[in-house]
Structure 1
Amino acid sequence: MSSTSSLRFALAANRLHHATPDAGLFTWLKASSETIRELDIELHTVGRTYDAIQREGFLSGYRKNIRYPYGREGGLMKLVSRVTIHEATPITLDGAIYLIDPVDPSSIFPEALALKRQCITHGKPFISTVAGAIEWMEVERVMAGRDPLSDCLSAEVIRGQTLALISHDALKAEMVAYASQYFDILSLFERRVATGTTGGLLNELAWSKGWPEDKPWVDRYLSGPLGGDAQIADLVLDRKCQRVIFFEDPHVARQHEADIQLLERAVRVATHDATCATAREVARKWAEAVQRANAG
């Protein structure tokens, strides 16, 4: 994440999320405008999304909402290069909030897919749901030493949720290390689920930490290639799984890519209820924020 005092985020929203006054973009802004102003967060906003914010009167007078061209004029493409970390990058963004309509064809345009991939590659949040955008502003707020404005990071809320833990083959060891480091936080969840091999490794970890051996720490579903991602997507769609931590490897093609996309699409359908972290660094920052929010 950026070491500068002012965070910078790409911001875009498909039409579904800004077409009406009660749309998702404005739900997020109602919850997060105070944090955006207090933390002096720069928003690098694609044209139509920027215009919608102006139309509805949000962030009035805020000079750090910066307008980019319309998507058709390259606005989203410009943001992709700016989430990379390189001395030649004119502005480095700390992540992207892209509120996606899962049936909008533009959500699978190359620039949209590239924005997500570059965020994962550089360990930055790619946030595609309303619930996730609200929560991430709370994460940044808590990590900046401010009191939370909502209870989305509270132990009480987490205890009523189900968490899915998924990792690609090259990152399974890192998922186990993550679960070991934040075992107490992850154990707060009412239920944990995982795809086959990852679930087996996580149960072995839990038992080694003293979890009762007659009780699985995670409920195991099928492996990803055999349908485990689709099974968890079904839980998300039924509002029976609220959080997905998915350690994705952006450098390897997967035979079951369609199943992975299905799960992520399900999360976006449940936009007001579900969150998804797809980078290891992002999952760690979320866990650190939960620890801080519940300290004392």
Structure 2
Amino acid sequence: MKIALIAHDKKKEDMIRFATAYKDIFSKHELFATGTTGLRIQEATGLSIHRFQSGPLGGDQEIGARIARNEMDLVLFFRDPLTSQPHEPDVSALIRLCDVYSIPLATNMGTAEVLVRGLKRGDIEWRKIERDQG
């Protein structure tokens, strides 16, 4: 599976802890991340991650383009709902694309845990069929 990992500044530590906790699961998949988030996860876990630009510099849009081409299977985006983001339109567009293309999306750690445990069980295997038909 192709998994995108994104985290706003105040949520990066949560994402690092999450990626560390589920390192064994993530190591079996292809990981993508926005710039700083990806770097910090790599440094903490040793996982191989394809890094895009940082979110405000277009990384959210790069991931969105992958979604629009049916090249992403799961998005974990730890958002900070209490801090205004200068690139909020890009964030909204990314979330909208996940809805348009039926990409499972978690915007917080609780939902992410449900999705990652489902990933381990094979609950998201239907995405391979969707991707192959696209």
Please say whether Structure 1 and Structure 2 have the same fold, judged by a TM-score greater than 0.5. Answer: yes
| 2:80 maps to 1:287 | no
| 2:4 maps to 1:164 | yes
Equivalent of 2:98 in 267, 270, 277:
267
Instruction: Identify the residue that residue 60 of structure 1 maps to in structure 2.
Output: none
Q: Secondary structure at the residue paired with 2:32?
A: strand
1:200-244 CA-to-partner distances (Å, cap 9, x unmatched) read: 00111232xxx5xxxxx1111000110000000000000011110
Instruction: Identify the residue that residue 223 of structure 1 maps to in structure 2.
Output: 54
Equivalent of 1:237 in 68, 81, 86:
68
CA distance in 2, matches of 1:266, 1:289: 21
Q: Secondary structure at the residue paired with 1:245?
A: strand
Equivalent of 1:193 in 32, 39, 43:
32
Partner AA of 2:6 in structure 1: I
CA distance in 1, matches of 2:116, 2:73: 15
How far did 1:260 drift? Answer: 0.5
Q: Secondary structure at the residue paired with 1:166?
A: strand
Greater helix share, 1 or 2?
A: 2
Q: Secondary structure at the residue paired with 2:6?
A: strand
| 2:8 maps to 1:179 | no
Spell out structure 1 runs of 4+ moving beyond 4 A: none
Higher relative contact order (CA 8 A, sep 6+): 2
CA distance in 2, matches of 1:174, 1:218: 17
Question: Quick one: percent identity of the two aligned structures?
Answer: 34
Stretches of structure 2 lacking an aligned partner (at least 5 in a row): 123-134
Partner AA of 2:25 in structure 1: I
Structure of larger gyration radius:
1
Q: 1:241 to 1:290 in 2, by over 3 A?
A: closer
Question: CA RMSD for the aligned pairs?
Answer: 1.4
Alignment: residue pair count? 122
Partner AA of 1:243 in structure 2: L
CA distance in 2, matches of 1:197, 1:188: 22
